[in-house]
């Protein structure tokens, strides 16, 4: 019976150790999307060592064997308080405000504890004496506590108490949905502390340590609290300026379809009580708007919802759904934009009712409206349509097709003329159509619009009623949101991810148009020397200067990026007789001009390599970069060979 009890505890501890290892791996994989995941992983790893060491200690019958297990335990025990407090700080959002020196000092006592326990000559500071206690059902390690044991005990209690206080504060400070998450975390924080007090008091018979079992239970509660309830946070650096200024109603849901944000425009549109809505499920928030829910599920569309049941106003809107990608998963959340088109629908209804009203409302409509016949030619338009193209008169618009005011290709790569015919056929067949379109303003700038088409009858003749809604600003906002993860902070160039994204798109276009391209690889020479001699601030300035030289040497249509350290890459598009020789010459000319200014205490120098992409000999971007890198390295060696010894 004794052996069965002992074996059961060993198996339970081993299983707990394996489970904590899996939880540590689970948290590590989510470190990019859950702020406290890294501290959680470290804490679970420490618990895993604790459980594994205690299992080994219980399986041994000698003091030396038990001490080996005890030392493995202290790989976790030493650092548990520090990781515990870090988890609480990150969960509460206080970690960024804590000085770095404090976070460093937090690990001084844990490191010293581990050194003392693992050193035979210092072990007496922690354990005055060690032996085997046989008073219980099976032998366990017996020890008398040394002075350092109490130092570590006081440190552990203070850290755990501080962590518990932080978790408890979050229970009272959080919004309704987040309060449940904070309560789970607080409950998890009480278990090990209670077990720690019980262990110090010697209440458990047989000298058994209850702490690892309590920690394993807390790990499960923490995992549930962090990852079951985790919510997506829109980057605060852009929210206030980009989101609140949108005229469209905006809702942001996490991957579980819980509301995590909404702007002021969404509050009057849906009559949502903002504080009550945060953290609630989508279907609960929009229970009175089944049409809106259906449009979101369908990925967007028109909504005509009466809002019956709770006296909410009717919703007549165009809904768009944009997935928000996040690191390890592609469904980190969803951005819902709700554009109220009640006025537009009213205009369309009045147009069908009366030709007299049609002309009045047609001219008075604030948004551009055009009429197009079955030959894809505009036959009428209002003043707003004239203005959106930057023209002076209605006559400049009439008898021309949408393709005339558009770039040659639309963003999806379809020729504008072909896409005009396609959506016209769809509109006549289905009665309406909706698409995103890019027009070109008279000054050359691009105008991005939502183009909605409806078939109407005027004097018995079916024509297309086209409404344009300028979404250029909204697209710029979305672009800025994407650039948060695509731009190098130091130089303002694209980073590796941004370069690969744009280069892959350009590769497809090059294959379709049968155009060649040139890749180049540039390396800033002697960056380490600059850092060592003049300091890292000057090293950063050298990188910024090099980026400026390269950017000035390329065209706006070319793609330039810093992919790490002192390395830059570029993609030179083939057009207008542009050659790699011309680019090399411009780079060298701009380098010389920069160095002649003598604004830095060092000379700027770049090693340069290129690789050619031919449509007849296709290859991957990685292959091109590798070839350009080899060519750059040859250039660097040649330059060193010419330098005097």
**Chain segment 6-16, per-residue pLDDT in tens:** 787 778 778 77
Residue predicted with more confidence, 309 or 6: 6
Query: How many Å apart are CA 159 and CA 141, to the nearest integer?
Result: 26
Give pLDDT, residue 405.
Answer: 92
The CATH class that applies to domain 486-642 reads alpha beta
Superfamily, domain 236-340: PAS domain (3.30.450.20)
Q: How much is the pLDDT for 288?
A: 74
pLDDT of residue 79: 87
Reading the block at residue 477, the tokens are 């906002």
Q: What is the pLDDT of residue 365?
A: 79
Whether residue 174 has pLDDT greater than 70: no
Query: Which residues is 450 bridged to in the sheet?
Result: 436, 469
583 token code pair:
């680019």
How long is the chain?
645
pLDDT for residue 439 is more than 90: yes
Q: How many CA atoms lie within 13 A of 459 on its CB side?
A: 1
Comparing C-alpha atoms, which of 367, 370, 433 is closest to residue 397?
A: 370
Cα 437 to Cα 417: distance, rounded to the nearest angstrom: 12
Task: Assign 200 a pLDDT band (cuts: 50, 70, 90).
Answer: low
Q: By the 8 A CB rule, do 446 and 406 touch?
A: no
In the chain, CATH 3.30.450.20 sits at: 236-340, 367-475
Domain covering 2-228: architecture: Up-down Bundle (1.20)
Token pair in block for residue 335: 């951005």
Lowest mean pLDDT among 235-244, 248-257, 294-303, 573-582: 235-244
Six-digit token string for 549 = 């030289």
* Assigned CATH class of 367-475: alpha beta
> Strands 369-372, 378-381: parallel, antiparallel or unpaired by DSSP?
antiparallel
Give the pairing of strands 315-326 and 432-440: unpaired
CA distance 310 to 285: 12
State the helix-helix crossing angle for 342-353 and 355-364, rounded to 10 degrees: 150
pLDDT tens profile 13-42: 787 778 778 877 877 876 665 666 788 788
**Calpha distance 84→104 (Å, rounded):** 15
Instruction: For residue 511, give both structure tokens.
Output: 């294959």
3-state secondary structure of 118: helix
Work out the number of other CB atoms within 10 angstroms of the CB of residue 562: 27
The pLDDT mean for the chain works out to 79
**Does 271 have pLDDT greater than 90?**
no
- Mutual angle of helices 37-59 and 2-29, in 10-degree steps: 160
Side-chain half-sphere of 404: how many Cα atoms within 13 Å? 10
Q: Give the pLDDT confidence score for residue 327 in this predicted structure.
A: 45
Using CA atoms, how far apart are residues 336 and 333, in angstroms rounded to an integer?
Answer: 10
Average confidence (pLDDT) over 224-244: 47
For 103-114, write each residue's pLDDT tens digit: 788 888 888 988
Q: Which of 156-165, 180-189, 406-415, 530-539 has the lowest mean pLDDT?
A: 180-189
What local confidence, expressed as pLDDT, does residue 96 receive? 64
Question: 303 and 315 in contact (C-beta within 8 Å)?
Answer: yes
pLDDT at 592: 92
Residue 204 has pLDDT above 90, yes or no: no
Looking at the predicted structure, is the pLDDT value of residue 50 above 90?
no
Distance CA 303, CA 305 (A): 6
122: helix, strand or coil: coil
pLDDT above 70 covers what percent of the chain? 78
Strand partners, 305: 315
pLDDT category, 169, cuts 50, 70, 90? confident
> What three-state secondary structure class fits 235?
coil
pLDDT band at 236 (very low <50, low <70, confident <90, very high): very low
Per residue in 318-353, pLDDT (tens digit) is 888 888 765 444 556 788 888 877 777 766 666 566
Rounded distance, CA 377 to CA 382, Å? Answer: 15
* Better-scored residue on pLDDT, 205 or 582: 582
CA–CA dist 418, 432 (Å, integer):
18
What is the structure's pLDDT at 23?
75
Domain with CATH 1.20.1070 in the chain: 2-228
Round the CA-based radius of gyration of the chain to a whole number and report it.
33
Q: Residues 479, 444: contact at Cβ < 8 Å?
A: no
Could you tell me the two tokens for 1?
Answer: 């019976």
List, for residues 386-396, the tens digit of each pLDDT value.
Answer: 999 999 888 88
Q: Would the pLDDT of 453 be above 60?
A: yes
Does residue 230 have a pLDDT over 50?
Answer: no
Contact indicator for 138, 5 with CB cutoff of 8 Å: yes
């Amino acid at each position: 019976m004794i052996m069965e009890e002992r074996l059961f505890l060993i198996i339970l501890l081993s299983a707990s150790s394996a489970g904590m290892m899996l939880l540590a791996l689970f948290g590590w994989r989510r470190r990019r999307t859950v702020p406290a995941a890294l501290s959680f992983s470290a804490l679970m790893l420490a618990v895993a060592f604790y459980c594994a060491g205690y299992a080994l200690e219980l399986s041994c019958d000698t003091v030396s064997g038990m001490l080996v297990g005890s030392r493995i335990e202290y790989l976790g025990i030493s650092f548990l308080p520090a990781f515990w407090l870090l988890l609480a700080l990150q969960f509460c959002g206080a970690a960024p405000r804590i000085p770095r020196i404090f976070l460093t000092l937090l690990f001084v006592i844990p490191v010293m504890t581990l050194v003392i326990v693992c050193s035979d000559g210092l072990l007496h500071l922690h354990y005055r004496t060690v032996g085997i206690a046989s008073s219980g059902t099976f032998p366990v390690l017996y020890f008398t506590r040394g002075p350092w044991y109490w130092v570590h005990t006081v440190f552990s209690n203070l850290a755990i108490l501080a962590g518990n206080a932080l978790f408890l504060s979050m229970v009272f400070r959080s919004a309704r949905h987040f309060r449940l998450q904070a309560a789970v975390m607080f409950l998890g924080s009480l278990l090990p502390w209670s077990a720690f007090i019980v262990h110090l008091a010697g209440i458990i018979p047989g000298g058994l340590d209850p702490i690892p079992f309590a920690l394993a239970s807390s790990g499960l509660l923490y995992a549930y609290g962090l990852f079951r309830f985790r919510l997506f946070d829109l980057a605060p650096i852009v929210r206030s300026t980009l989101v609140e200024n949108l005229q469209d109603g905006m809702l942001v849901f996490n991957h579980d379809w819980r509301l995590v944000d909404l702007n002021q425009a969404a509050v009057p549109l849906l009559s949502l009580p903002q504080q009550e809505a945060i953290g609630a499920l989508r279907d609960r928030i929009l229970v009175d708007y089944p049409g809106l829910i259906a449009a979101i599920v369908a990925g967007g569309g028109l909504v005509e919802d009466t809002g019956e049941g709770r006296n909410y106003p009717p919703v007549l809107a165009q809904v768009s759904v944009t997935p928000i990608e996040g690191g390890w998963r592609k469904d980190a959340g969803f951005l819902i934009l709700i554009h109220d088109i009640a006025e537009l629908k009213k205009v369309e209804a009045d147009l069908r009712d009366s030709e007299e009203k049609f002309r009045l409302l047609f001219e008075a409509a604030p948004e551009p409206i055009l009429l197009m016949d079955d030959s894809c030619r505009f036959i009428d338009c209002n003043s707003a349509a004239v203005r959106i193209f930057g023209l002076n008169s209605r006559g400049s618009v009439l008898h021309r097709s949408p393709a005339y005011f558009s770039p040659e290709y639309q963003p999806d790569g379809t020729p504008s003329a072909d896409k005009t015919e396609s959506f016209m056929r769809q509109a006549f067949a289905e009665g309406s159509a909706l698409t995103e379109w890019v027009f070109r303003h008279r000054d050359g700038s691009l105008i991005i619009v939502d183009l909605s088409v409806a078939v109407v009858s005027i004097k018995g003749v079916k024509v297309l009623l086209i409404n344009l809604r300028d979404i250029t600003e909204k697209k710029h906002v979305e672009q800025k949101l994407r650039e948060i993860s695509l731009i190098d902070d130091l130089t303002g160039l694209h980073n590796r991810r941004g370069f690969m994204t744009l280069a892959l798109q350009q590769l497809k276009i090059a294959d379709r148009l049968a155009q060649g391209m040139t890749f180049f690889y540039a390396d800033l020479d002697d960056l380490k020397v600059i850092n060592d001699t003049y300091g890292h601030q000057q090293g950063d300035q050298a990188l910024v200067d090099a980026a400026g030289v390269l950017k000035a040497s390329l065209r706006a249509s070319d793609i330039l990026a810093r992919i790490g350290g002192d390395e830059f890459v570029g993609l030179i598009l083939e057009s207008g007789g542009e050659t790699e020789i011309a680019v090399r010459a411009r780079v060298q000319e701009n380098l010389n001009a920069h160095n002649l200014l003598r604004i830095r205490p060092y000379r700027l120098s770049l090693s340069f390599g290129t690789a050619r992409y031919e449509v007849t000999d296709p290859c991957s971007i990685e292959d091109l970069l590798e070839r350009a890198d080899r060519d750059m390295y040859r250039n660097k060696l040649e330059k060193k060979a010419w330098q005097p010894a």
